[in-house]
Amino acid sequence: MSAIACGEQKRKKRRTGLKQQTPRNIEVQRKQELLNRIAPGLLTWYDKSRRSLPWREEPTPYRVWVSEIMLQQTRVEAVKPYFARFMERLPDIEALAEVDDDELLKLWEGLGYYSRARNLKAAAQQIVTEYGGEMPSDYRELLKLKGIGSYTAGAVSSIAFKQPNPAVDGNVLRVIARLLEDNSDISDQSVKKRVEDDLRPVMPKDRPGDFNQALMELGATVCLPNGAPKCSNCPWQEFCLVGLHGTWQQYPQKAAKKARTIEDKTILVIRTSRQVVLRKRPKKGLLAGLYEFPAMDKKASLEEVREWLKKQGVEAVRMEKLPESKHIFTHKEWHMTGYQVLVDELEPMGQDESLLFVETQEIEKNYPIPSAFAAYSAYLKIQTGIQKMKGTTL
């Protein structure tokens, strides 16, 4: 082959390669240019607009960790009083590691997702036994703790230890998807990993914690999950693609969830004027270790309830129909109806050893009842014989 022909062949290969790579290169370059622009304006906005939150006042590793776990699946305003009570009773890792399970769950009562509380205690015990009671600062070591994933490890390591690790949650995924008009499925773990990798090089090394908190703040207060984003308040309004194109309703993309399973239940508030029957749920599974009212796993008729009570040896003095209620879990819904069953005195019921007779005044202090039963636990505050109950007498 002549030198001229050889040179022409090499040029052809280069042209072919360039033609194949150009669309991808343009897309990557476009995305990178946008990401490179986000930090300065974001931090300036955050310095002016950030909310005053109790866990930000003293961002110790322990306080950051507990707050981030509480904030998962829970609104900021709902978390504030829980965080204050938790810190007052369990001010450090050692106290958390040693707390009684019932007391821990009572502190958590109403926040939901109770496995978070159990994982906190288990991780605290790990920290005491494996790290001398000091929260590890290394991202990889944090990931070894019970209940800590990449988001929490990123938040703790960046906010408390100033390490440049992204903390990517649903808020951040939504914000970045809209910024880039990225139609990837944000429920896919590979997409989360990619966003973490994309953010790591653009994090300011001197303010990684503020950068992460600013992204979360932007998603919580401006680039809202429900309803139109407040684009006029956004520090990225000059270059955010959905803001420029008016396409926010199309982003982020997320695979449809499976329909929840519906379970019918009949809740029985069996009580005297001073005591009520509770059952402790198993140590594993949904609402593990919490207390509940006896229940029938069906929408029972009045006659079916009376038959069930008869088999348990319960003689009702009066029965009252309580309102229907619904509680939504991640993968299921409970559709509940209820009855208040008044008896003269409580006696052992059937063969169920998990049933307890509890003084109603002790419940608020010592017996965590999940919010799933809120519509029925409210009746425990009504003193029989003193205040008229609000149900329908049967």
The encoded tokens of residue 107 equal 């502190």
Is residue 389 very low, low, confident or very high in pLDDT (cuts 50, 70, 90)? very low
10 vs 261: CA distance, rounded Å:
63
pLDDT(285) > 80: yes
Mean confidence (pLDDT) of the chain: 89
Is residue 96 very low, low, confident or very high in pLDDT (cuts 50, 70, 90)? very high
327 vs 257: CA distance, rounded Å:
18
pLDDT confidence of residue 211: 98
Average pLDDT over residues 339-344: 92
**Higher per-residue confidence, 120 vs 29:** 120
pLDDT confidence of residue 18: 41
3-state SS assignment for residue 124: helix
pLDDT confidence of residue 91: 98
- Residue showing tokens 């303010």: 207
Show the domains of the chain with their CATH numbers. 38-250 (1.10.340.30), 261-393 (3.90.79.10)
308 vs 311: CA distance, rounded Å:
5
41 vs 34: CA distance, rounded Å:
12
- Which of 168-172, 313-317, 382-386 is predicted with the least confidence, judged by mean pLDDT? 382-386
The per-residue pLDDT for range 139-164, each reduced to its tens digit, is 999 999 999 999 999 999 999 999 99
Asked if 180 contacts 31 with a C-beta cutoff of 8 angstroms, the reply is yes
Taking alpha carbons only, the member of 90, 102, 108 closest to residue 289 is: 102
pLDDT(297) > 60: yes
pLDDT confidence of residue 388: 44
- Which of 12-16, 132-136, 186-190, 311-315 is predicted with the least confidence, judged by mean pLDDT? 12-16
Q: Is the peptide bond before 348 cis (omega within 30 degrees of 0)?
A: no
Helix/strand/coil (H/E/C) assignment for every residue in the chain: CCHHHHHHHHHHHHHHHHHHHHHHHHHHHHHHHHHHCHHHHHHHHHHHHCCCCHHHHCCCHHHHHHHHHHHCCCCHHHHHHHHHHHHHHCCCHHHHHHCCHHHHHHHHCCCCCCHHHHHHHHHHHHHHHHCCCCCCCCHHHHCCCCCCCHHHHHHHHHHCCCCCCCCCCHHHHHHHHHHHCCCCECCCHHHHHHHHHHHHHHCCCCCHHHHHHHHHHHHHHCCCCCCCCCHHHCCCCCCCHHHHHCCHHHCCECCCCCCCEEEEEEEEEEECCCEEEEEECCCCCCCCCCEECCEECCCCCHHHHHHHHHHCCCCCCEEEEEEEEEEECCCEEEEEEEEEEECCCCCCCCCCCCEEEEEHHHHHHHCCCCHHHHHHHHHHHCCCCCCCCCCEEC
Catalytic residues: 68
Number of neighbours of residue 280 by Cβ within 10 angstroms: 16
The per-residue pLDDT for range 181-223, each reduced to its tens digit, is 999 999 999 999 999 999 999 999 999 999 999 999 999 999 9
The per-residue pLDDT for range 244-275, each reduced to its tens digit, is 999 999 999 988 888 899 999 999 999 998 89
The encoded tokens of residue 31 equal 């995305």
Q: State pTM to two decimals.
A: 0.80
Taking alpha carbons only, the member of 179, 338, 186 closest to residue 267 is: 338
The per-residue pLDDT for range 36-46, each reduced to its tens digit, is 999 999 999 99
pLDDT confidence of residue 174: 97
Counting residues of the chain whose pLDDT is more than 70, the rounded percentage is 89
